[in-house]
Structure 1
Amino acid sequence: MRQNPARRTALLDAAIEVLAREGSRGLTLRAVDKEAAVPTGTASNYFADRADLLAQVMGRTRERLTPDPAELAGTMTAEPSHELVRTLMLQLVERMRRDRSSHLAMLELRLEATRRPELHTELTRFLSAELDANTDFHLGRGLPGDRTGVILLYLAMLGLIVDDLTVPELLAPHRLDALIDALVTRLLPRKTA
């Protein structure tokens, strides 16, 4: 296996684009080579097989979708509140819109995992770790809500993002910021004294 990190990243980015555009069936090592504009056979020097490629695509999507640390640090200077959670959710949607391909690739991986038990196991582990990390971040920062509310917010935002990615006309008549505000308010009730 080759060890050039920049080339590996370029191949993974190409795989994400192919997966988002062509779907799981279109993702081959040859298609990755073509998308990355590298000689045929290059991807096979970096990935043992398609399963290895799919597993590494998951990690790369995490890198691409993780908030910029400086931007997040700036956002987190605000007091923990519903307004801060609302801001974080709006930033999540903006990241999704800026990198639509990564989200579509993850949707394709979810679908592929229903047909491939080994990918299902890996994706379950990956998404469980993501959910745990996001929940721990939320609760650890003293943001409103309990563990169940945060998980419900995750599920609601996932649905909102899927609709925004796949049938944006469905949500077009609604103000996205108002929908997110309602989600945060209803799913993370204010503490009563």
Structure 2
Amino acid sequence: MTRGFLLIGPESSGTKLTAELLRRAGCRSVGIIGGDDGPQLPADDRPRLLRRSFPHGFEWFTVRDLVALLDAEGVKAEGVKAEDVQVVITTRDWFTMVDSQLNRRLAADRETAFANLRRAYREIFAGVFELGLPYLVSSYEALTAQPRYAERLLDAIGLPPAAVECYEANAKWYGDQPARTGPPPGVWTAGQY
């Protein structure tokens, strides 16, 4: 039985958008470490959700660290152990992630951004395999372009249907649309219920 979800991916890969979808499907954010997921919610029986980008700011966590944090946050209830964790790994067009990271000053230059992407996926998959965790890779492009993708993603990880308002934001990095960042105004809960 899944008691916790670990949502991870490189910076600018869609972790915030995907976290909002999982929250709307009934998860609650825990273990907010210097983050932007909203306040820690009181313990209850909803599945726990921990979202982290790799790196987060300039700090590199390991998958093992994050699973331990997810477990520590579950101590008040029945706990979350590695065998109870489902991992969702986000991915997105690499050039878009690089441009977004540079725009947000998360990387000093293109070479650093590409190196961070390679390191992020290497560490994510190595950590998932080391712990033998079940995982699913979720595509930002599919989430923003395919009407039934959110339903299929949630079904695959055992959560009820939910939706999140979003838009395709990759075109701005190719000069095809004006720049937009973040969620449509007023539509995300930022983890607050």
Higher Rg: 1
Structure richer in strand, relative to its length: 2
TM-score scaled by structure 2?
Answer: 0.28
Structure richer in helix, relative to its length: 1
